[in-house]
Amino acid sequence: MLLFVAALAVVGCGDIEVELCQSDTHPHLAPVNVEFVWNESAESFNHELPDSMYILSYRIIDAWKSGYVTTANATDNKGRYVFNNPMDEVVKNESSGNEATDGTDTPTDDNETSDGTPADGGDATGEDNNSGENNTTTEEAEPFNLKRGDYRFIALNYSENNSTFEYLGFSPDAINEAISNKEFIIKYRSYKLHDINIDKFDNEWTDFNRYSDYVLSNVSSVYYCYTDVYEISPNATNTIQITPQSITQDIEIRFTVERQSVVIDKVMGEISGIANSLNVYTGEADASKTYKMLIQPVEINTTATDEMNGVNEYSAKFSVTALVRSESPDFITGAGIMQLAIYTHTIADDGSKKEKVLNVGINLYNTINEYGRIIYRYEKPILLNIDNILTISRDKILEKAESSDNLDYWINYEDIDIDL
């Protein structure tokens, strides 16, 4: 999945003449149809496309902007305005006896500044700055109408309750500067391990890598599109084409565990080195600060000689802004470390079941370094194969191969004095 999304250019609108003096619109406004073109061939762990997209409309001359949320299917889009519904200005002017000639210089609402920015500092994503919740529902459909002019459109899907990311540059008062500086940022919201938002997959978790906070697990792909200029005219049916590109990086980690006289019941994991933020306009990731994410490895293959002995292969999949490696292959904390809690049991001679959790980690320096310091901006999912097989017995880790140019080694946290 290529994170590079700089200035996705698409072509303009149709030229079908229509009569605009209808009950649900106004002759000074232009109806806009949104056509989503999804790249169905793109490989992604998240095969479900977003159910809605947020569209920022930005008029270049006589600056004016609006926010609109619409369903993301290819046709029959239904939506509603998040801010600056131009029809509200039309209705207000008509009720006050004023007449707007082309929708460019209408008096503003009492709750707006002269450029259409909500006076209370409301967020472009419909977020109340005090509640932290996004309002993205589209039950009450409103037609998508715009004032005449030349527009750029920015489309983005985002977390329904906005608990995953902050969106910087998408608010009404920040659009001008964001476009000028080419800076539209999604930035992780971080949490402590004990926070109710952090999914621990019904397990306990001991953190042996306490250098940073956590971000939410199992985040769906984030899609973004920045269009070329469209001329929006009241004398035509205007169709804009949105071609969303996934801007988060899909990563899969595979590892193998050889077990001797022990059964693995389940595995829980953590990956560190999640880049703090991503500029969705340019695709550049900010690796100056990184976070951790809990992951849930699943067994994908088993070769057993008997119930207590065999080889188990696991896979962990996640989508992130970017994955940053450690600064040194010798570090056991910091970015680029995967931790595992392996829940095991054995059967004693008296038939009783004895359970034990093995805590182990691995610095993925060499594994990640194949892609450079940061894994991001790849169109397809990146597969990280850990070649060093982890060997465990009924109560300990047996294999601790030393690191080499192309082999990372497993860390037995029980053998290391880490201040928790």
Task: Render pLDDT for 215-255 as a digit per residue (tens, 0 to 9).
Answer: 998 777 888 999 999 999 998 889 999 998 888 899 999 99
Helix, strand or coil, per DSSP, at residue 86: helix
Chain segment 25-39, per-residue pLDDT in tens:
455 789 999 999 887
Q: Which residue has the higher pLDDT, 371 or 131?
A: 371
- The CA-CA-CA angle for residues 341, 345, 349, to 5°, reads 155
Residue 410: partners with Cβ closer than 8 Å, 6 or more residues away: 360, 361, 362, 388, 390, 397, 399, 400, 401
Residue 275: partners with Cβ closer than 8 Å, 6 or more residues away: 285, 286, 287, 290, 320, 321, 322, 323, 324, 374, 376
Among 89-93, 124-128, 207-211, the minimum mean pLDDT is found in: 124-128
Residue % of the chain over a pLDDT of 90? 45
Confidence band for 402, pLDDT divided at 50, 70 and 90: low
Distance of CA 315 to the CA centre of its chain: 21
Confidence band for 318, pLDDT divided at 50, 70 and 90: very high
Q: Token pair of 31, please?
A: 């109806």
Distance of CA 310 to the CA centre of its chain: 37
pLDDT for residue 14: 35
pLDDT above 60 (res 324): yes
Instruction: State mean pLDDT over 44-49.
Output: 71
Q: Which residue has the higher pLDDT, 225 or 162?
A: 225
pLDDT for residue 413: 86
pLDDT for residue 173: 82
Cα–Cα distance between 4 and 282 in angstroms, integer?
Answer: 6
pLDDT above 70 (res 113): no
pLDDT for residue 416: 67
pLDDT for residue 398: 74
Among 68-77, 148-157, 281-290, 396-405, the minimum mean pLDDT is found in: 396-405
Any idea what DSSP says for residue 131?
A: T
Chain segment 382-395, per-residue pLDDT in tens:
999 999 999 998 87
- The CA-CA-CA angle for residues 367, 272, 129, to 5°, reads 140
- The CA-CA-CA angle for residues 233, 239, 243, to 5°, reads 135
pLDDT above 60 (res 420): no
Confidence band for 175, pLDDT divided at 50, 70 and 90: confident
